[in-house]
Structure 1
Amino acid sequence: MSPISIGILAIGMSIDAFVASLGQGATPGALPGARSGWTRVLRTSAIFGGVEAVAPLIGWGLGLVAHRYISAIDHWIAFGLLAGVGGRMVFHALARPATAPSAGPGAGPSGASRRTGWTVFATAVGTSIDAMAVGVSLALLDVQIVVVVIAVGLTTMAMTAIGTYAGGFLGQRVGRAAEVVGGIALVGLGGMILMDHLAA
């Protein structure tokens, strides 16, 4: 997998975390303006980045187990997984009402302080399920999984920090557009992989 493909994959897989962090950043009084605010951004981005990096690694391990049984059609399965995840992202983005993101229970300055690390962790796990499916597809390809995991983790940390910091300004419309672009990127990457294998 080329560096460009790894970059596309990393960005596409980090979009869910970016969209989720937009909602958290939209909590009134949550934007970094003090030391506690920056601590919150760093903690959130570290949790999202860590979980998003581990998820494809788990999927990759599961894919290795099944690889020998499906080696004849591995490129089709990889394409199906990437296209399925990307298509789901686009569908959910277009189906979501165009309203400002809700900060959820406990919104407001006092609600922001009640957001615990476990709440952020649970959100990160929820957004990483697709990344696990993508990880399965990586086991069917010739990739350096360590490089991919590092790229995904660092990209997710950066995207989450941006989303958390700018959530109050960007709102859900930007999150929807980003999710559509990320979904299309994953579908396109799956198509590139399939074409490469068919042309070989």
Structure 2
Amino acid sequence: MSFFALLALAFAMSADAFAASLGKGASLQHPRIPNALKTGLIFGTVEGLTPIIGWLIGTAGAVFIEQWDHWVAFTLLSGLGLHMIINSLKDDGEEGESSSSMTQHAIGATIFTAIGTSIDAMTVGVSLAFVSVNIVLAAVLIGLATATMVTIGTLAGHRLGRYIGNKAEIFGGVTLIIVGASILYTHLS
């Protein structure tokens, strides 16, 4: 997998965390840089660790599905991308309430939110076990992209949260589908 594809994957993986951070920023009256950085570091660390866990799981199972690995990667990434797009198009009435209740200032709530938004990164980690990729580089890029996007989202959320949140998740979903399709295309051609 090329560096550009890994970079696109990293920013796609940060889309749902970015959307959550916009919600957190929207709930804060005056977000401060140290708080935004702390939130970004928590999200980035969790989001960077989960692909490694998924990669380990995928590596253990790779022997059993080696002939179909590119189809598995394509299916997982495309399914996750579609899931992100569908979730972003759902009515925000219910989601907005749970987002604001989970994005309190407490570190525990921030960690739980980070874990919730990083489950998809574990799925990506599983799919990365089936392609030639440096998992450490992928995890670092995903973690850095997420930390950056969450910090920006937390700071900008009180101004932009209502306008950008869903669009960021749609973009992330489309990007995952494109990455999955490129993996399939590379293996089939």
Instruction: Give the TM bin, normalised by the shorter chain.
Output: over 0.9
CA distance in 2, matches of 1:13, 1:184: 11
Paired residue for 1:189? 179
Paired residue for 1:88? 83
> What does 1:4-15 correspond to in 2, within 5 Å?
4-15=4-15
Match of 1:179 among 152, 169, 175: 169
Amino acid at match of 1:118: G
Q: Cα–Cα, structure 1 residues 25 and 197, in superposed 2: closer, same or farther, change >3 Å?
A: same
Paired residue for 1:160? 150
Q: Cα–Cα, structure 1 residues 26 and 100, in superposed 2: closer, same or farther, change >3 Å?
A: farther
Match of 2:38 among 43, 47, 71: 43
3-state SS in 2 of match to 1:26? helix
CA distance in 2, matches of 1:139, 1:177: 29
Amino acid at match of 2:44: G
CA distance in 2, matches of 1:95, 1:29: 26
Post-superposition offset of 1:173: 2.8
CA contact 1:51–1:125 (8 Å) conserved in 2: yes
Paired residue for 2:19? 19
3-state SS in 2 of match to 1:41? helix
3-state SS in 2 of match to 1:163? helix
Task: Could you tell me which runs of 5 or more consecutive residues in structure 1 were left unpaired when the two chains were aligned.
Answer: 33-37
1:156-190: per-residue Cα shift (whole Å, max 9, x none)? Answer: 00000010000011123311111111100000110
1:36-74: per-residue Cα shift (whole Å, max 9, x none)? Answer: xx2211110000000000011000000000000100000
3-state SS in 2 of match to 1:141? coil
Instruction: State the TM-score, normalizing by the size of structure 1.
Output: 0.89
CA distance in 1, matches of 2:39, 2:9: 21
1:54-104: per-residue Cα shift (whole Å, max 9, x none)? Answer: 011000000000000100000000000000110000001112338995562
Q: Give every structure 1 segment of 4 or more consecutive aligned residues whose post-TM-superposition deviation is greater than 4 Å.
A: 98-103
Instruction: State the TM-score, normalizing by the size of structure 2.
Output: 0.94
Match of 2:130 among 121, 126, 140: 140
Aligned residues: 188
Q: Cα–Cα, structure 1 residues 106 and 92, in superposed 2: closer, same or farther, change >3 Å?
A: closer
CA contact 2:29–2:158 (8 Å) conserved in 1: no
CA contact 2:59–2:129 (8 Å) conserved in 1: yes
In our comparison, the structure showing a higher alpha carbon Rg is 1
Q: Cα–Cα, structure 1 residues 172 and 100, in superposed 2: closer, same or farther, change >3 Å?
A: farther
Kindly indicate which of the two structures has a greater share of residues assigned to helix: 2
Q: Cα–Cα, structure 1 residues 133 and 105, in superposed 2: closer, same or farther, change >3 Å?
A: closer
Paired residue for 1:62? 57
Post-superposition offset of 1:17: 0.6
Paired residue for 2:70? 75
3-state SS in 2 of match to 1:62? helix
CA distance in 2, matches of 1:47, 1:100: 22
Q: Percent identity?
A: 42
